[in-house]
Copies of this chain bind each other. A is one copy, B any other.
Amino acid sequence: MAEAALDAVRRELRGFPAAARELSVPLEVPYLDEPPTPLSFYRDWVCPNRPCIIRGALEHWPALQKWSLPYLRATVGSTEVSVAVTPDGYADAVRGGRFVMPAELRLPLGLVLDVLEGRAQHPGVLYVQKQCSNLSTELPQLLPDLEPHVPWASEALGKMPDAVNFWLGEAAAVTSLHKDHYENLYCVVSGEKRFLLHPPSDRPFIPYELYPPATYRLTADGSFQVVEETAADKVPWIPLDPLAPDLARYPSYSQAQALCCTVRAGEMLYLPALWFHHVQQSQGCIAVNYWYDMEYDLRYSYFQLLDSLTKASGLEQEAR
C-alpha cells in the first residue's frame, strides 16, 4: 500500500521536469535584439523564470570599447585584488569527497594579467571572481566605464543590485554546477563565456550530497594542500560534472536536459534565480554581473517543496 503510493509519488516527481519543460522551458536560450521594457522584462522573463540573451544592452558602456588586458594593466595593474587559486580551475567544487573552496590570494591585478598573457607563471589556475561586489570594493577606478546598475532591470525588479561583480580569469577556470538565489544579469565585456543551464524543474534529476568543507592552501613550493574546516557544517553540493556526468552513479541525470549557450562580448545573459549553471570561459574573458536579490514568493516555496520531496521520496538514493 505504502509502496504503491510512494511509487506514484516518485513517478509524479520524475514526470515533472518534462511537463515543466514542455510548458515553459525553451529548447535554446532566445536572443533579444534590444533591452526589454521593464514590464516586458518582468512579465516575459523574470516571472516565468526564463533565461534570455540580450543584445545592445551594453553599447553605451565605455567599457565595451575600452576594456582589454592592456587597458586593465594601465588603469588598475597595481591594484591588489582577491584572486581564487585552485590546482585544477575548479573553485567551490567536490574533490575527493570534500567541498573544496579556493585559496584566496591578494595579488596585484597586473600579475594576473601577466599570467593571462603568458608573460609570467603562477602555480594553479587564477580567477578574479570574488562575489562581494568586488568591482566597487576592489576596483572602483573602473566604475566610470559602466553603469552602477541596469536601469530597466532595476525599474522592473523595483530594487537596486545587491552586488556588482568583476570576473577575469584563465580558460581553465570553471564554475561548477550550482544555483544562486539571485536574478543574475551577466555581461560579457571581452571574450566569451559558455553556460550550461538547467531549469529549477530539473531538480529531481540533479544529485545533491553533503560534503565536509575544505579550502585549498597554496604552499611555498607551489603545491596545494586541502585543509579541512573541521568546525563547519557539511555543505550540500552537486557532485556531478555536467560535461562528463558519471551516469553509472547518477543515472537519472540522463533525463535532465541542459541548455547550452555562449555569451559573447557585448551580450548580457539574464540567468534567472534558482537556475543551475556551470560556466566556462575563454582565456582572459572580462565580465561583470549584477545580482539582484530574488523575490521569496510562491515560486520559491514551490522550489523548496520540490527540493524537499526529491529528498523525502528517496528519489536521489534510488538514482544512485
Contact = CB atoms under 8 A, between A and B. Distances in A.
A246 interface: no
Contact of A9 (B39, B42, B296, B309): B309
Copies of this chain, complex-wide, total 2
The 8 closest A-B pairs by CB, nearest first: A8-B312, A302-B302, A47-B47, A48-B297, A20-B301, A2-B3, A24-B297, A12-B308
Interface of A: 2-3, 5-6, 8-9, 11-13, 16, 19-20, 23-24, 38-40, 42-44, 46-49, 155-158, 199-201, 295-302, 304-306, 308-309, 312-314
Contacts of A312: 5, 8-9, 11-12
Of the listed residues A295, A302, A308, the one surrounded by the most CB atoms of chain B closer than 10 A to its CB is A302
Nearest to A24: B297
Contacts of A313: 5, 8-9
A298 B301 contact: no
A304 B43 CA distance: 21
Contacts of A6: 2, 5-6, 9
Nearest to A318: B5
A48 B298 CA distance: 6
29 contacts: A2-B2, A2-B6, A5-B6, A5-B313, A6-B6, A9-B9, A9-B309, A9-B313, A13-B305, A16-B301, A19-B301, A20-B301, A23-B296, A23-B297, A23-B300, A38-B39, A39-B39, A39-B42, A39-B155, A39-B156, A43-B47, A47-B47, A48-B297, A48-B298, A199-B298, A201-B298, A299-B299, A302-B305, A309-B309
